[in-house]
Structures are given as C-alpha cells and as structure tokens.
A and B are shown apart, each in its own frame.
Chain A
Amino acid sequence: MSLASLLGAGKGVAMTSFFSPEFFLLFLPPAVLGYALIPQKGKKYWLLFAGYLFYWFVSGALILYLLLSTVLIHWFGIWLDRVQNEGKAAAAELEKEERKALKKKYRKKQLAIVWLAVILHIGILLVVKYSGFFAVNVNRLLSAVNAPFSVRIPKYLMPIGISFFSLQALSYILDVYHGVVKADGNIGRLALFLSFFPAIVEGPICRYGQTAERLWDCRQITYRNLTRGSQRFLFGMMKKLVVADRLNSFVVLVFNDYGNCDGGIIALGAILYTVQLYMDFSGSIDAVIGVAEIFGVPIPENFERPFFSRTISEFWKRWHVTLGAWFRDYLFYPVTASDKMKKLTSSARKKLGNHYGPLLAGSIALFCVWLSNGLWHGSDWNFIFFGMYHFVLILTGSLIAPLVRKVNAKLHIDPERFAYRLFQMIRTAILVVIGELFFRAEGLRNGFKMFGRMVTRFSFSSFNREFLEKSGLDPYDLVIVGITVAVVFAVSLFQEKRGSLRDALEKKPIALRWAIWYAAILFVVIFGAYGYGYAQIDPIYAQF
C-alpha cells in the first residue's frame, strides 16, 4: 500500500457531494472549528490547508494539476507585471505620439505572455479532457477512408474541478493584462483564491477581484454568519437530497431504457432531468455560498431564478451566471471588440441597418461562445450539439425580434401583460427541457432517437404503477417532490418580487424563525433520499 493511499488520497470521493456525511459531518465542522480557534494570523493558512486537504481527499495525486496551475499563473502574473511596469516607465518620458507607439509595442509583449498562459492552461485541459474524444473521431475518419492504421486512444484521469479552477486562473491573468487587478506577488493569496474548498468542485467561477482579498483577510466567524450560512446550506440540502437524488432513479431508467418508454414518458424524463439538474446544481451552489458565508466570504451568485426567464438569452443570464459572465467578458466582448470585427460591424451596419448589421459580428462571437460552452460541459457530440442548439435559439431570437415587435404592435399585444409573459416563460422552459434532453442523452444519436420517439409516439400508455415501481419512484415520492418543488417555487417567487427571504425572516419573531428552520431540518431528515435504498449521487456538475 502506497503512502498516498495510507494518507487517504482520493479516498474521499464521496466528499464531492457537500451533503455527504463525510463532508458536512466529518470535514466541515473541524474545518470551521479550527478556523475559529486559530489566531487571526494563522486563519488564512488554515483555510489554505483545508483547501488542499479537501482536494487531496477527492483527487489524490491529481492535486498536482492544481498546484501546477497555481505556480504557473502566479509566475505569468509576475512576468506580466514586470513588462507592464517597464512599459509605463519607458512611456513616461515620451511625447504623446511616441508614447502611443511604445504602448503598442508593450501591448504586444503582454499579449504574448497572456497567450502563453492561455495556451498552457487550455492545453492541459484539452489533453486531459478532450484528447480521448479527439482520438476517437480521428479513428472514425481514418476508418471511413479505409486507412490501414489508427491512433491510440489516450486515457487520462481528469482532476475534479479542473474546468472551474482553470477558468478562474485564466480570469486572473486576463484581469491583470486588462489592468482590472494588480498582479499578486503573494503566491499564498493566489493559491487560496484557486483552492478555496467549497468552490473548487462546482464553482461558482469567482474572479480574483471578488474573493481573493476577502479570503486572505480572514474575518472571525460570527453568530450571524454561522446561522445564515447554515440556513443557506440547509436550503441547498433540501433541493439536492429531497428532490434531485430522489428523481435520479427515474431519470436513469428513462435515459438508459428509452426504447421501452412511450414518448410521454420520455418527455416526463426530460422534464424531471431538468428539475433534477437545477435542484442538484443550484442546491450544491447554495451549499458553497452557505459554507463561504460561514467564513464571512461573499461568493457571487450562480443562479437568479432561471425559470422566470422570458427568452433563452435571458435564461443564460440567470443560469450558471458566472460561466456565462466568463464567456461574455473573456470571449464575446474581446472577439466583437477586435479590429476586424469592429470594421465588419461598421460596414455591415451601413448595408444592413442598426439591428442586423451588428448581428453579423455578434453572431460570430456568439458562435465561439456557444461552441466553447458546449465543449466546456463535456467531450462528446451531444455537448457540442447542446451549445449549437442554444446558439441557434439565441440568434433566431435576435433575428426575429423586429418582426415580433411589429406583429405585437399590429395585434395590439402588450408584451408586459401577465398572460404574454407567462406564455414566454413556458415557451422558454420547453426549449430548455428539449436542450437538456440532448445534454443528458448517452451520445447525440441516442438524443435524436429519444427526441424522435418523444414527438412521434407521444402517449402515456405504459405509465402505470408497475413502471413507477421499476423506476424506483412511488406516488408518495412524487408527492414529496411536488411539495418541495412548490416550496422552492414559492421562495423563488418571493425573491423575484421582494428580494431576500432570509432578510425578511430575520425581522420575524425568534420563535417563528426557529420553528421554520427546525421544520426545514426535520423535512430534510425525514424526506431526504439517503440511507437504505438510496445510492449517494455525486453532484452532476462536478464531472464537468
């Protein structure tokens, strides 16, 4: 037995779920207690230690990827800072025109450093995440042309959370390049920013300017932060354990055995998968934000009640907010703000007008964003299709927007009327569910087969008690899911109309407050899908 194995490396994979007893009973309490007891000066090192210990438990030797990323991005930051300072010092003594030329020269140098950092990080990601997919498709091509040889299919273990911490690292170096933040000479602060244990598995994808200083500052744990963080954690636990994990067996059955399912059941499977994904991911993010709140660190929100969206474009501003913002700030705007795209926009606007002109450059940038978004989620054609599906929907929405406005005006439809807004929300939700069907399907071919079956053989004739038993759900489960989804919907509606529910509850009498929280704890304990008869389900987004 190796030393790493003896020290528990990679043995705590169950900890990737924040709601596993290993995490919230065995890891989290000592981490919080140790942080509270350690003198102020040592708190940051304790957090750093907790982060690496957590990552060691879930990933073992693959922690080297995280360490490598940290060292590289720190070094690139320092290098970039040195070049920036050299450029500033040299430019200070020059006249305006010469200064401009010199700045351009130094910009190029800085850009080369940034590109090197990007290529290295994306390169590592490409190798561990996509080389297998690439080799499989090369072999398909070779076999199609009857080539007498094939390429070896490489297999790499993918470090958990690499898609998240790589984007965080890149956002740091790009922010340094843009002058949004100063390069950090303190590798410890940068390491803590990249390894803060609640956020390393599933995000949210934080920016250096949002969390690094606050993490390094280390506030003392307060009663208010402890209770509010625990409340948020509990809410996430309810979403994940009561709904998401309970629905898993039904979703697995439908997606694995769709050949024996009616179209109606496939549609139900796609709807329930969308519910499962939302409850799983947003529930885990509630846990992340709750744990960070206990340590007094505000983490950016990742969900803004996405199912209230009226368009697909709005949906992606409310679902996985930090990923969307990353692609917007580091891909969409840089592409559209490039010289060639600006020229294209200017000339296209003169020929096609103010709406369709910019759409040309915008659609090229949008294509890059959605191809990257699809690939980010996984290395298979169904993920690429998922990205392209949303690209087409968003582009179509922009193309027909002037026509829709005209039709509405002609028919005297007020787009702000409740009925119209409700129609838009339901339409958006249906489009999202169709996208999720392809996203969850075992490959693109199966996705199309499921979609075809759903449309052409729509019936519920085989949806009976026997099917429910096979799926691991019974009517009692459906009632529990229904009640919990209704609670989550009511909370979302309150937040949508009146803001934070926890802030509102804080003003209520103490007896009522505690009664609500005790009821919530009991609800999760009694109705959570854990223990005998349930397998622990890893968070869905941890695999991306």
Chain B
Amino acid sequence: MEKLLAILEDLNPGVDYENCEDLIDGHHLDSLLIISLIAELEDAFDVTIPAVEIVPDNFNSAKRMMAMIERLQED
C-alpha cells in the first residue's frame, strides 16, 4: 500500500490518498492522470491493467486500487 500511496503522491500531490473515497467522482484524478497512473502501476506491481478495468469503481480509493492490483496479480 505504501508503494501505491507514494506513486499517487508523486503523480498528483496534495490529496489525502489514504482516506479519500472519491478520487474519480470527486475529480481528484482526471483521465490523463489515470493514463499515467496505469503505466506506473503496471511497472511497479508487474501487472497488466486491461482497458476494461478502467472504471471509477476500481480507482475511487487507494484501497480499491490495491484490491484491483492484488486481483490482477493472482490471475
């Protein structure tokens, strides 16, 4: 989780990523940042994030992102 928080903080500082539950719906992360974030997550966690996973539900909080990453790692 710390690695993920560091990536988020590096990409777009100034958001409480540990507690924020509406990163997409609250417009903290726009589509351009999502593109960047996906590239970073794939490098950092050795996963492939397919387009179908790019939905608000998977990116609204750091916890949801971590859950998606763990699920993809198991695949």
Contacts and interface: CB of A to CB of B under 8 A. Distances in A.
A178 interface: yes
Interface stretch (B14-22, B46-54, B60-68): B46-54
A337 B38 contact: yes
Query: Which has the most chain B C-beta neighbours within 10 Å: A178, A337, A349, A357?
Result: A337
B11 A354 contact: yes
A361 interface: yes
A179 B49 CA distance: 14
Contact of A342 (B39, B52, B75): B39
Interface residues of B, number: 19
Contacts of A341: 35
Given A342-B42, A346-B43, A354-B12, A179 B52 contact: yes
A359 interface: yes
A382 B22 CA distance: 40
Could you tell me the dominant secondary structure of chain B's interface residues? helix
A333 B51 contact: yes
Interface in A344-378: 345-346, 349, 354-355, 357-359, 361-362
Interface string B1-23: 00000000011100000000000
B49 A346 contact: no
A343 B40 CA distance: 10
A358 B33 contact: yes
A345 B51 contact: no
Point out which of B39, B40, B42 has the most chain A C-beta atoms below 10 A from its C-beta.
Answer: B39
Contacts of B40: 346
Interface of A: 103, 178-180, 329, 332-334, 336-337, 341-343, 345-346, 349, 354-355, 357-359, 361-362, 398
Nearest to A337: B51
Given A346-B40, A354-B12, A361 B35 contact: yes
A333 B31 CA distance: 9
18 contacts: A178-B50, A178-B52, A333-B51, A334-B51, A336-B51, A337-B49, A341-B35, A343-B39, A345-B35, A345-B36, A345-B38, A345-B39, A346-B39, A346-B43, A354-B10, A354-B11, A362-B32, A398-B32
Contacts of A178: 50-52
Contact of B54 (A103, A333, A346, A362): A333
Contacts of A357: 36
Contact of B32 (A103, A343, A359): A359
Contacts of B12: 354
Contacts of A359: 32
Contacts of B42: 342
B49 A349 contact: no
A356 to B, nearest CB: 9
A346 B7 CA distance: 13
Contacts of B31: 332, 362
A404 to B, nearest CB: 14
Nearest to B43: A346
Given A334-B51, A337-B51, A355-B32, 4 more contacts: A333-B51, A362-B31, A362-B32, A362-B35
